[in-house]
Structures are given as structure tokens and as C-alpha cells.
Structure 1
Amino acid sequence: MRIGIAGITGRVGRLLVQEVLAAGAVLSGGTTRDPEQARDLALPDGAVLLTDMVGLARISDVVIDFTHADTVVSHAGALVEGGAAWVLGTTGLSGAQLAAVQAAVRRIAVVHAANFSPGVTLVQRLATLMGRTLPAESYDAEIVEMHHRQKVDAPSGTALAIGEAVARGREVALADVRESGRDGHTGPRKTGAIGFAALRGGQIVGEHELLFTSADEQITLSHRAFDRRIFATGAVRAALWLKNRDSDLYNMEDVLGLPPL
């Protein structure tokens, strides 16, 4: 299977190079805005560096993309034109960017996930079950996340995905019940709210904690990532899983073979 990497010179892109080769797949190449940054990459024979996504799609069966939300619309069109499947790990997508993904899945197979860690995927599954089982009138749901000081978005995409899972279990829209950035005299907590708190510091890869708290008990789910490699490993697993899949939108629960809830 030929796997291409968008943004091959980035932190995750460099890990993806190693994980693609470790999985025994063919690294077709990668895109970079500055080929000079790739001089120290240990690329195998045949792997090429490109500056355009259409070219990478044409020589790949699947492209793994952890770049930026601003590239999603152009990448969606390029992958459809080039005929490659898409593993998309970009979060914080706007309505227009989500629409571009939805248009692409009519032509190509896409795995889109906020986090490719198997552990986080299972946390999201449990979050849905807990949201469904624990009444919102009695159990307050709060999500706390911490990341490295360079992270520019808050809450994290993974925190929002966990919140979406809770909201799905409660059969509500997250946008209608989300509370974040509390400051000053905010008044009492709203019943049924899903709260978010974002912490930043040091070089923490990613920590997420989901708390359900009632008057009588508290249940906590937590996940800590020690190395960004877990995201690269999961993304390569998703890429290999996409082989011969029909055009559709998939997630990591599909990749892990979890049954529908």
C-alpha cells in the first residue's frame, strides 16, 4: 500500500515517516512548503518530495494529513482529483471546511478523527455511554485538558470530541450546552451544561479528564499521551484499514472494529 504524508517535515509528519516504514507499507512521498527542511529526513528510495497535493494523491493509495484547517478545502479537492483515500487528523474545522470533507466522501474513503489514539477512542465511546446513562439533571459533566504551551487552540479538538460524545449520549447538541472560559461572576452552573477547562504549560503532549459529578459521587475518565508517536501509529493503522474501502466517512471506532452503539 502506498502512503503519502501531507506536511512531511512537521513534528507528526516525521514520526509518520518512521511508522509507515515500520508497518511495511510503501512511503510514496510527502508534501512540504520548504524542501530545504526535508534534507535531514531519511526517506527510502522512490519516495518523493512535492509541493502540491494533487501530485502526491496521484502516486498514493492514501494520504495522511495532520496539517491545518486552512488546507482542508484545497486538500479535499486535490485528493478527489488524484483519487487517493484520506486520513484526516485536522481539528477545529469550520462549516465550509466540514462541507468540503462531506463532499469528498462521495468520491473517496475518508477517516476523520480528532485523535487517533485507541485509548482516546475508547474514552469517547465510554463518554457516550455515560452521557446516556447518567441523567444530566443529576450529573454535571466537566472536561479538563492540558497541552504544551505552543498549542494555539482551546479547548483541544480531542476535548471537544469527548464533549460531543457526552452530548450524543444525552441526545443534545454540544453547541447548545457548552460552557467554557468561565471568568468573573458567572452565576450558578446551568443544569445539563457540559463544561470545558483548558490548561497550557511546558511540553505536555496531551492530557484529558472527563468528570461526571453528582451530589453523592464522582466518576472520572482520564487519558494521558506520553508521546506524539501514538497519534502517528494510529493514523497509519487507519490508513492500512482504508484499503479497498468504499467511499464514505469513517472514524477510529470503525478502524478499531467497535460495534455501533
Structure 2
Amino acid sequence: MNPSPTRLLIHGASGRMGQALLRLAAEQPALFTVAAAVTRRAPAQRVVEGVPHFAATEVSGVPAFDVAIDFSLPEGFDPILALCVERGQPLVSGTTGIDAVQQAALAAAATRIPLVWATNFSLGVAVLAELVERAASALPGWDVDVVESHHVHKKDAPSGTALTLGQAAGSAGAPVQYASLRAGDIVGEHTVQFAGLGERIELIHRATHRDIFARGALHVARTLVGRAPGAYRVRDLLD
């Protein structure tokens, strides 16, 4: 772990996750300082609460940083990945919807810098994925179902997290079925059910506040600094 504050570049700073990252980083000055915040459109102010702001088109001119955290859109993903590779700095990204070409670019970048791309940065979900993989390995032949619930405005189904959990079970050879529910303002709930003859196991994660994802991303970012190049998972960086 770094003895001095980690200098963050927050890419996608005007979004919900970006705003949470700025707020939570400011609450931990001993651990984090924000070197720059990058927004999709030109900022109304160049400096906000001591943080320099840049438009996405100006990302190449941002000051030195230790690690970039990206929660933006697919069209903004290529420049931030290229910047991190050019400067040899780590990247943490939760940008969803990237295409096969961008996935290939991620894999190539991982040979030069440490990076994490994940659908969910909750540390609890990272532990859940490990438990799911272990259960699937220990229970061959059991039925596996992933049931996820989210707020009514979430469009994708199954959620990216549900698919990640399904992949964890599938890595042990288990066939997986999915079910999705959209209701109210549910932040996120995932249940992985293992059913055998006469018995059943349920592994559940419930998110009650969206800050858990920003906190997890900050933890991953600070832990990633100084690592060897490679593609890491959130669960690889729990210690």
C-alpha cells in the first residue's frame, strides 16, 4: 500500500459514479488526492474545490497521476486507455458496453500496464464470486440459478454482475440459468442458488447504497498502484 496519498485521475467525473468518487476521495485526504477530473463536456469552471477540471477532448493535457479511474461511456474509453498506456500508469475502469475491439485493446494494454475492468466494484460481490466458484466446484451436478433484482430504470437484464457470477459458476462447469426483476428503487440484489436433491444453498449479496461501488473502486485503484502489468480482478486486490 502507498505511504503517500494516491494521485487520482477521475475520468467521467460528471456522472453519478464520478461525483461519488470525488466526494469520497475528498473525505480521505491521507489516502487520496485528485490530480484531475475529466468530464464529457467543457467544464464551467477550471478548478472546483481545488480540483483541476478538463474536457474529454483535453485528456492528453492532464497533469501527472498515479492511477486513472474511468466510469464513462464507450466512446470515451479509447482515449483514457491510450493515455494510461502512453504514460505507463494503471487504469481502473467500470465503463460498460465496450465492444470486442475495445476488449482486445484492453487485453493488449494489460501487457504494458496493470489494469482492472469490472462490471461491479463492490468488495462484497468480489468475495461472493469467489464463494460461487468454490461452491460450483464442490457441488457438481447441482442446479445453479442466478436471480438479480434492480430498480425499474435499469435496462440491461441479466445485469453485468449476474453474468459475472454466472461465469464464476460456469468456470467449474456448471450450467447456469438467470432470472431478473425490476422493481422500485432497488440498488442491487443478487442471489446464487445451488439446488441438489433434498437440499439447497443460497449465496446472497444486497447493496443498500451506491457508494459501495465508488469505495470499492478507490480501494482497487490504490491497491493497483505499483503492481506488475496484467489484467486483474477486483477479488485479486482484496488484501
If the TM-score is normalised by the length of the shorter chain, which range does it land in?
A: 0.7 to 0.9
Distance in 2, matches of 1:10 and 1:46, equals 16
Deviation digits for residues 130-185 of structure 1, max 9, x if unmatched?
1101112xx11000111122222221111011001001122xxxxxxxxxxxxxxx
Contact 1:141 1:210 in 2 (8 A): yes
Aligned residue for 1:196?
A: 178
SS where residue 120 of structure 1 aligns? Answer: helix
Aligned partners of 1:114 and 1:10: how far apart in 2?
16
**CA drift at 1:33:** 1.9
Amino acid at match of 1:32: T
User: Could you tell me whether the CA contact under 8 Å between 1:113 and 1:252 is conserved in 2?
Assistant: yes
Runs of 5+ consecutive residues of structure 1 not aligned to the other structure: 171-191
TM-aligned CA deviation for residue 95 of structure 1:
2.5
With the length of structure 1 as denominator, give the TM-score of the two structures: 0.81
1:1-261 residue pairs with structure 2 within 5 A? 1-24=6-29, 25-35=32-42, 43-52=48-57, 53-56=59-62, 58-136=63-141, 139-170=142-173, 193-257=175-239
Aligned residues: 231
What secondary structure does 2:161 align onto? helix
In 1, Cα distance between the equivalents of 2:74 and 2:150? 19
Q: Which has the higher strand share?
A: 2
* SS, match of residue 103 in structure 1: helix
Quick one: distance in 1 between partners of 2:200 and 2:79? 45
**Cα distance change on mapping 1:94 and 1:51 into 2, 3 Å:** closer
Deviates more, 1:44-53 or 1:150-159: 44-53
CA distance in 2, matches of 1:73, 1:34: 16
1:92 CA drift (Å): 4.6
Distance in 2, Cα, partners of 1:166 & 1:207: 17
> After TM superposition, what 4+ stretches of structure 1 lie above 4 angstroms from structure 2?
none
Query: Structure 2 vs 1, CA of residues 115 and 79 (structure 1 numbering), >3 Å: closer, same or farther?
Result: same
Residue 79 of structure 1 and its aligned partner are, at CA, apart by: 2.1
Cα pair 1:62 1:239 within 8 Å, conserved: yes
Aligned residues: percent identity? 37
Q: Rate the CA distance shift 1:93–1:35 in 2: closer, same or farther, 3 A.
A: closer
Q: Is the 8 Å Cα contact of residues 147 and 205 (structure 1) preserved in structure 2?
A: yes
Q: Residue 115 of structure 2 contacts residue 231 of structure 2 at CA under 8 Å; is this kept in 1? A: yes
**Kept after mapping to 1: 8 A contact 2:41/2:55:** no
Alignment match, 1:181: none
> Per the alignment, do residues 131 and 3 of structure 1 end up closer, same or farther by CA in structure 2, a change over 3 Å counting?
same
Post-superposition offset of 1:55: 3.0
AA partner of residue 117 (structure 2):
H
The answer to whether the 8 Å contact 2:11/2:80 transfers is no
* SS class of match (1:169): coil
- SS of the residue corresponding to residue 225 of structure 2 reads coil
